Amino acid sequence: MKKDSKPAWEDLRLVDRIEPGVRVLLIGINPGVMSATTGHHFAGPTNRFWRLLYESGIVPEPVTHLDDDRLPQWGIGMTNLIARPSPGIDVLKPIEYIEGWRILEKKIERFRPKIVAFVGVTMYRALWKVLTQTPPVSPKPTGGGGPVIKPGFQKATVHGARLFVLPNPSGRNAHFSYDDMLASFRELAKAVRRLR
């Protein structure tokens, strides 16, 4: 590969897994290289997303990234905030978050899920300024220069959907233990069961 040429995966995009009637919309920050090259969400070998989805009870059977197209049959949709794949989030630009939010907000308006779950505290924190300035979002700060963001339901809605934050299940996430992640996914699973 020439020094100035782009990697083969850079222009790849994942297909949204959203259909009318989804009750929960899961939002990843952006595809990793493995997801881009396989065409499936959360495909990284150290990512615990699919295991957490099953062990928490959000889906009724074990699934892998190869099953992401089956999520709508359980009332679950999946998309990303930023479509561009990257090997890490440190290369994402602030404008990409803003542009990504504009697109995501239209998807929420169109499909009207009851819950929008952001897979990553960092992503939700990065969106805070966008969310507080973009109607019809109505978050309420908990003090200071913005909220203290913890996993769970947030004090905000978008087009009637309640916002939920999950820990990022990447193997790189050292801020949460697996048990902490599982507890958050189980909290979401309880809310999903109440929607059925």
pLDDT digits (tens, 9 = 90+) for 27-40: 999 999 999 999 99
Residue of higher predicted confidence among 43 and 172: 43
Catalytic residues: 30, 41
pLDDT digits (tens, 9 = 90+) for 63-114: 999 999 999 999 999 999 999 999 888 888 888 988 999 999 999 999 999 9
pLDDT given at position 94: 84
Residue of higher predicted confidence among 139 and 57: 57
pLDDT given at position 65: 96
pLDDT digits (tens, 9 = 90+) for 122-176: 889 888 766 555 444 444 433 445 567 899 999 889 999 999 999 999 766 668 9
Percent share of the chain, pLDDT over 90 = 66
pTM over 0.85: yes
Number of C-beta neighbours around residue 187 at 10 A: 16
- Say if residue 4's pLDDT is above 50: yes
Residue-range domains of the chain with CATH: 24-195 (3.40.470.10)
pLDDT given at position 153: 96
